């Protein structure tokens, strides 16, 4: 049986506005340009919190799976090596209980994942019913404990934000594809959904979810379709798995989708943010903002055909932060160990007031040089994967296809 525990219970019109230009990531400012964000009462908000965990360090989906690589542990190690992360702002995420997972997930599905981890096998009927033991959602030693810990981190983050304004970073909690009763797209339990549900259970009534992963945030959109308390916005590659999230898809009015073409560049990302995402967010006026910061839209990632530098993602996070007094930033996709580690470390730098363009310390460079990757690009990695966090910017023209998506999503 699954270990017991208890959890709490609890479920717009969007108009266009004018967005201010975004700051460059390398300015090294805190999200609002001040030493500390101020609460409504004029007092400074507490420093941002980083929720991690050691379970991710040696856990792998299998040697040939895209998630054979270390990601969360790399980001943690880089932040520590840079002097950006100390024990005062870091904590390990707890493992969510079965009852907490059941706030969203079918108990039979939770039981099946638990049993599959214990047996390290799954029968054909269970595999077909819950999408377990397939090429994307394999059987591996921590297949219950790892996603349950990612979910527990999201729940802890929601509880922290319920205590007052602030920022929480949980790079493991971006598992946005999981459904109520089945695994999907490398995701077993849906940490963003569970975190948002916990926020709603705390009494918040306007939660904005922005997803900048290369793949559509389908599981989160589906979970909150028709629930006016949650607006989901997803910027993702068009015509890529899971082949959902068309610009016409609005989930009963509670979703906005911006499918972008292959080759999507930094200039186009800034255009989408300034002319669609930020105006939509400001109009919704969220009490809490959740940002899913998957790093698979970067040019050197193998699972998309987008062409962003990490500056584009850093700028997006920087521009979004002022939308709400309470912010949860989670990770997501990202399948090149160097690009995802550098990107996620840079996001923490921005959240905590450091400069992500700072040169790596010798200790940080050692972390990067110790990484390995079975793909061809990992056999002879370019030097910049070791010697800098910041990519070379990838500007370009704003194509008609991008302008058309922005125009349509604002209708």
Catalytic site positions: 177
- Residue 367 in contact with residue 357, Cβ under 8 Å? no
- Residue 56 in contact with residue 71, Cβ under 8 Å? yes
Side-chain half-sphere CA neighbours of 373 within 13 A: 26
Tell me the three state secondary structure of residue 298.
strand
Torsion 160-165-169-174 (CA) sign: positive
Residue with tokens 């799976």: 65
Tell me, rounded to whole angstroms, the distance of Cα 9 from its chain centroid: 24
CA separation for the pair 98, 110 (Å, rounded): 7
Residue with tokens 């906005």: 256
What phi, psi does 38 have (nearest 5°)? -105, 140
Q: What is the DSSP letter of 213?
A: S
List the structure tokens of 366: 């050692």
DSSP state string for 249-275? --GGGTEEEEEE-TT--HHHHHHHIII
Quote helix, strand, coil % in the chain, to nearest 5: 40, 10, 50
CA separation for the pair 378, 301 (Å, rounded): 12
CA separation for the pair 226, 129 (Å, rounded): 26
90, β-bridge pairs: 50
List the structure tokens of 377: 């690009």
DSSP state string for 4-22? P-------------PPPPP
- Residue 220 in contact with residue 187, Cβ under 8 Å? no
């Amino acid at each position: 049986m699954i270990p017991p525990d208890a959890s709490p219970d609890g479920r717009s019109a969007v108009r266009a506005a004018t967005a201010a230009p975004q700051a460059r990531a390398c300015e090294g400012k805190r999200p609002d340009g001040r030493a500390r964000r101020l609460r409504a009462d004029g007092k400074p908000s507490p420093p941002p919190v980083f929720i991690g965990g050691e379970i991710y360090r040696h856990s792998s989906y299998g040697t040939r799976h895209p998630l054979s690589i270390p990601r969360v542990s790399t980001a943690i190690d880089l932040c520590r090596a840079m002097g950006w992360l100390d024990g005062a702002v870091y904590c390990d995420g707890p493992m969510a209980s079965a009852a907490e997972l059941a706030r969203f997930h079918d108990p039979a599905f939770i039981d099946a994942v638990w049993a599959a981890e214990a047996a390290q096998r799954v029968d054909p009927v269970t595999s077909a019913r819950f999408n377990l033991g397939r090429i994307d959602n394999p059987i591996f030693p921590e297949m219950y404990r790892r996603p349950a810990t990612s979910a527990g981190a999201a729940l802890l983050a929601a509880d922290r934000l319920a205590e007052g304004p602030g920022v929480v970073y949980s790079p493991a909690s971006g598992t946005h594809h999981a459904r109520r009763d089945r695994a999907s797209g490398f995701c077993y339990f849906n940490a963003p959904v569970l975190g948002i549900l916990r926020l709603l259970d705390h009494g918040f009534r306007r939660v904005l979810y922005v997803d900048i992963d290369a793949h559509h945030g389908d599981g989160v959109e589906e979970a909150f379709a028709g629930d006016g308390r949650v607006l989901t916005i997803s910027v993702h590659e068009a015509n890529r798995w899971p082949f959902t999230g068309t610009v016409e898809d609005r989930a009963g009015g509670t979703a906005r989708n911006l499918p972008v073409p292959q080759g999507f560049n930094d200039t186009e990302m800034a255009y989408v943010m300034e002319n669609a995402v930020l105006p939509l967010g400001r109009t919704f006026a969220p009490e809490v903002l959740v940002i899913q910061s998957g790093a698979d839209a970067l040019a050197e990632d193998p699972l998309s055909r987008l062409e962003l530098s990490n500056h584009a993602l850093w700028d997006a996070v920087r521009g979004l932060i002022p939308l709400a007094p309470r912010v949860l930033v989670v990770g997501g996709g990202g399948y090149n160990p160097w690009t995802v580690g550098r990107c996620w470390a840079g996001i923490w730098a921005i959240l905590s007031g450091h400069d992500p363009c700072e040169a790596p310390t010798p200790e940080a460079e050692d972390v990067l040089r110790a990484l390995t990757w079975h793909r061809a690009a990992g056999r002879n990695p370019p030097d910049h994967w070791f010697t800098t966090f910041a990519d070379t910017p990838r500007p370009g023209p704003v194509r008609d296809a991008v302008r058309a998506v922005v125009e349509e999503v604002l209708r």
